């Protein structure tokens, strides 16, 4: 407590302040010594700040690029959490930085509100509600070619597990196919009016794709106990639809699809998601990269208020300089387009000045010194 | 939690901020007016949004975005 007002004067980050305070409290020093210590810490803090003109972006790129070379090109799909396949390593890192709209293995971690989180049955109930269930999951489907009809043999046990009633299934199918379904001693029968084999098979395919319950994108749900609460892990992801379901604590529910987070929760959430996903991908591979570098990358990707990928359709492609763009990718196309349009390169950036062989505005090159002549003799 | 705290700055606060930073508001990072959170707090084009982030390095950090 007593060190708080001493620290208040210094413009240092909260985390650092707390660290200093903790140490001071442990040492239990008096005010004057504390003041000296804080002063020294502040000095050290200033020395560690990035200097103006320092190439922060290049350092970030190198800091992520070098460990990247140690990552294996091959994807090791491995059971991250509860048998769910997740893309890892370099392919995943590329996916994050490219802002893929459809990542190869979307996954959600769903946490529940208190009422549901403690009870296994209730958690299971929600899992059943969101998992996409198709007719083949709960029944055997056969085609009767002679009578031009499809016979659905419902599996009672599966129905019970999914808490489904025959009535509901019948209604869902009728709605999905826009055809009449007849119930006949526990079986559902769809009669095809047209005597064509193609019509029968088309209806059969359509029937297989009807989602009876759940969210289409959520292919599989796994319930796991974590600490004292049940958490749902899903294969497939649909943040928007999940958030509408009762019993889900959407403040603690996330997906690994960064673009989806951007669409549903906005740019700041996307920034956080990029940092979280990138650092966890690198850490999982045993690579230690300082978060600050990743934070810088995430900042660059989100400055304009929209998610931009690192690449020719995003950050690198948005550069003003023709030469800088040409140096990155598609050299001929960029130069040709610029020539046709009569574009002018103002040579303001780093890349283009290196190309033409001029001093660059970086580090000590960023400042211009003027000598005052005739001052002191 | 993924979404940090967003607040719209009042006119006076915005002016004060720009003066202390010595920049024009166009130089700030942007946030779209159609952004779900910008809509939620009722930010209009031209407003400045203050974002209180939880930073893994600094503990708490404050960022500003211009609504476009």
What pLDDT digit, counting tens, does each position of B10-32 carry? Answer: 888 888 989 998 988 889 999 98
Mean pLDDT within A95-120: 84
Say if residues A192 and A203 touch (Cβ distance below 8 Å).
Answer: yes
- Give the model confidence (pLDDT) of A196-238 as tens digits: 778 778 887 888 788 877 788 888 888 888 788 888 888 888 8
Which region holds residue A65: left if phi is over 0, alpha if psi is between -120 and 50, else beta?
alpha
Residue in chain B nearest A299 by alpha carbon:
B29
Residue with tokens 């559902």: A188
- No. of helices (H) and no. of strands (E), chain B: 2, 4
C-alpha A35/C-alpha A220 separation (Å) is 58
Q: Does B8 touch chain A (CB under 8 A)?
A: no
Band (pLDDT 50/70/90 cuts) for residue A191 is confident
Mean pLDDT within A119-128: 80
Q: Residue A360 CA to chain centroid, in angstroms?
A: 36
- The CA distance from A206 to the nearest CA of chain B, in Å, is 36
Instruction: Test A266 with B65 for CB contact under 8 angstroms.
Output: no
CB A215: neighbour CB atoms within 10 A? 21
- The CA distance from A297 to the nearest CA of chain B, in Å, is 14
Q: Which positions in chain B touch A273 (Cβ < 8 Å)?
A: 2
Residue in chain A nearest B66 by alpha carbon:
A305
Task: Name all domains of chain A by residue range, CATH numbers in brackets.
Answer: 4-48 (no CATH), 54-105+256-318 (1.10.1790), 133-208 (3.30.1360), 322-366 (1.10.150.390)
CB B53: neighbour CB atoms within 10 A? 17
Say if residues B4 and A275 touch (Cβ distance below 8 Å).
Answer: no
Q: Which positions in chain B touch A303 (Cβ < 8 Å)?
A: 29-30
- Range A261-265, long-range pairs (CB < 8 A, 24+ positions): A261/B2, A262/A306, A262/A307, A263/B36, A264/A239, A264/A240, A264/B36, A265/A239, A265/B2, A265/B3, A265/B36, A265/B37
Residue A133 pLDDT greater than 90, yes or no: no
At residue A1, the pLDDT reads: 57
Q: Does A22 touch chain B (CB under 8 A)?
A: no
Band (pLDDT 50/70/90 cuts) for residue A332 is very high
Say if residues A79 and A218 touch (Cβ distance below 8 Å).
Answer: no
Band (pLDDT 50/70/90 cuts) for residue A294 is very high
Instruction: Test B57 with A291 for CB contact under 8 angstroms.
Output: yes
Q: Does B59 touch chain A (CB under 8 A)?
A: yes
| Cα dist from A22 to A14, A28, A42, whole Å | 12, 10, 16
Instruction: Test B57 with A13 for CB contact under 8 angstroms.
Output: yes
C-alpha A169/C-alpha A16 separation (Å) is 60
C-alpha A52/C-alpha B52 separation (Å) is 24
- Give the model confidence (pLDDT) of A138-159 as tens digits: 778 877 777 777 877 777 777 7
Q: Which positions in chain B touch A295 (Cβ < 8 Å)?
A: 55, 57
CB A157: neighbour CB atoms within 10 A? 9
Q: Which positions in chain A touch B57 (Cβ < 8 Å)?
A: 13, 15, 291-292, 295
> Which one of A305, A306, A308, A315 makes the best mutation probe of the B interface by having the most chain B beta carbons within 10 Å?
A305
Kind and range of the H or E run holding B59: strand B59-67
Say if residues A203 and A179 touch (Cβ distance below 8 Å).
Answer: yes
- Count chain A–chain B contacts defined by CB atoms under 8 A: 75
C-alpha A16/C-alpha B58 separation (Å) is 7
Closest by alpha carbon to A269, among A243, A236, A231?
A243
The residue extents of the domains of chain B are 5-67
Closest by alpha carbon to A232, among A285, A245, B4, A264?
A245
Residue in chain B nearest A16 by alpha carbon:
B58
Q: Does A50 touch chain B (CB under 8 A)?
A: no
Q: Does A253 touch chain B (CB under 8 A)?
A: no
Two tokens, residue B37? 């959170």
Instruction: Select the residue of B6, B58, B68 nearest A15 (Cβ to Cβ).
Output: B58
For domain B5-67, give the CATH number. 3.90.940.20
C-alpha A271/C-alpha A118 separation (Å) is 32
Q: Does A283 touch chain B (CB under 8 A)?
A: no
Residue A76 pLDDT greater than 70, yes or no: no
């Amino acid at each position: 407590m007593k060190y708080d007002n001493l620290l208040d004067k210094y413009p240092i980050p909260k985390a650092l302040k707390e660290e200093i305070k903790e140490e001071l409290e442990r040492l239990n020093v008096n005010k004057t010594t504390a003041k000296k210590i804080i002063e020294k810490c502040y000095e050290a803090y200033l020395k560690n700040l990035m200097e103006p003109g320092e190439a922060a972006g290049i350092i970030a790129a190198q800091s992520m690029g070098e460990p990247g070379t140690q990552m294996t090109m091959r994807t090791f799909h491995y059971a991250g959490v509860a048998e769910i396949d997740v893309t890892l390593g370099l392919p995943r890192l590329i996916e994050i930085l490219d802002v893929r709209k459809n990542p190869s293995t979307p996954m959600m971690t769903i946490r529940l509100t208190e009422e549901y989180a403690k009870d296994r049955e209730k958690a299971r109930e929600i899992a059943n509600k969101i998992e996409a269930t198709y007719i083949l999951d709960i029944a055997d489907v056969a085609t009767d070619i002679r009578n031009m009809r499809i016979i659905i043999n419902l599996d009672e046990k599966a129905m019970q597990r999914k808490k489904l009633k025959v009535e509901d299934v019948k209604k869902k199918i009728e709605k999905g196919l826009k055809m009449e379904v007849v119930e006949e001693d526990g079986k559902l029968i769809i009669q095809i009016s047209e005597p064509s084999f193609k019509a029968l098979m088309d209806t059969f395919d359509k029937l297989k794709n009807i989602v009876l319950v759940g969210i289409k994108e959520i292919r599989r749900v796994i319930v796991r106990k974590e600490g004292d609460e049940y958490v749902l892990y899903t294969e497939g992801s649909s943040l928007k639809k999940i958030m509408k379901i009762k019993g889900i604590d959407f403040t603690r529910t996330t997906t690994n699809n960064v673009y989806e987070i951007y669409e549903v929760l906005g740019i700041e959430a996307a920034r956080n998601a990029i940092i979280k996903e990138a650092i966890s991908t690198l850490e999982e591979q045993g690579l230690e990269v300082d978060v600050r570098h990743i934070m810088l990358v995430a900042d660059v990707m989100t400055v304009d208020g929209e998610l931009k990928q690192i690449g020719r359709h995003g950050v690198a492609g948005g550069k003003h300089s023709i030469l800088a763009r040409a140096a990155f990718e598609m050299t001929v196309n960029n130069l040709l387009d610029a020539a046709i349009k009569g574009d002018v390169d103002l040579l303001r950036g780093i890349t283009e000045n290196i190309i033409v062989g001029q001093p660059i505005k970086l580090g000590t090159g960023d400042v211009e010194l003027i000598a005052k002549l005739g001052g002191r003799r | 939690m993924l979404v940090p705290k967003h607040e719209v700055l009042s006119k006076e606060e915005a002016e004060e901020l720009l003066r202390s930073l010595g920049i024009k508001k166009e130089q700030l990072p942007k946030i779209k007016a159609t952004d779900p959170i910008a809509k939620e707090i009722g930010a209009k084009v031209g407003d400045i949004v203050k974002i209180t982030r939880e930073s893994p390095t600094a503990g708490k950090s404050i960022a500003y975005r211009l609504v476009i």
